[in-house]
Amino acid sequence: MDPALLRERELFKKRALSTPAVEKRPAASESHKKKKPKGDKESSSGSKESSNGNINIKTSSGYKFGCLAKIVNYMKTRHQGGDTHFLTLEEILDETKLLDISMKQKQWLMTEALVNNPKIDVRDGTYGFKPKYNLKDKKALVRLLDKHDQLGLGGVLLDDVEEGLPNSAKAIKALGDQIIFVTRPDKKKVLFHNDKHCVFVVDEEFQKLWRSVPVDNIDEEKIDEYLKKQGISAMLETGPKKVLPINKRKNKGGNRKRQFKTHNHHLSGILEDYTDGVPAKK
Asked whether residue 206 falls in the same domain as residue 153, the answer is yes
**End-of-domain residue from the set 129, 160, 190:** 129
Least confident of 26-30, 42-46, 74-78, 244-248: 42-46
Work out the angle between the directed axes of helices 168-175 and 138-151 (0-180°, nearest 10).
70
CB of 117 closer than 8 Å to CB of 68? yes
In a domain, 257, yes or no: no
- Give the number of domains in the chain: 2
Convert the pLDDT of each residue in 201-228 to its tens digit. 888 888 888 888 777 777 778 888 888 8
146: helix, strand or coil:
helix
Can you tell me the distance from the alpha carbon of 44 to that of 37, in angstroms, rounded to the nearest whole number? 12
State whether 172 and 117 are in the same domain: no
- Domain limits for position 83: 57-129
Distance CA 46, CA 39 (A): 10
pTM > 0.85: no
Distance, in Å, from the CA atom of 8 to the CA atom of 14, rounded to the nearest integer, reads 10
Show which of 129, 159, 186 is a domain's final residue: 129
More confidently predicted of 110 and 274 = 110
Q: Which of 192-196, 198-202, 239-243, 246-250 has the highest mean pLDDT?
A: 192-196
Q: 3-class DSSP state for residue 206?
A: helix
Q: State mean pLDDT over 221-249.
A: 69
What is the CATH number for 84?
1.10.10.10
Alpha-carbon distance of 238 to 185, in angstroms, equals 7
pLDDT digits (tens, 9 = 90+) for 33-65: 555 555 454 444 444 444 444 445 555 778 888
Out of 36-40, 154-158, 250-254, least confident range: 36-40
Cα 234 to Cα 102, 134, 180: the distances in Å are 52, 26, 19
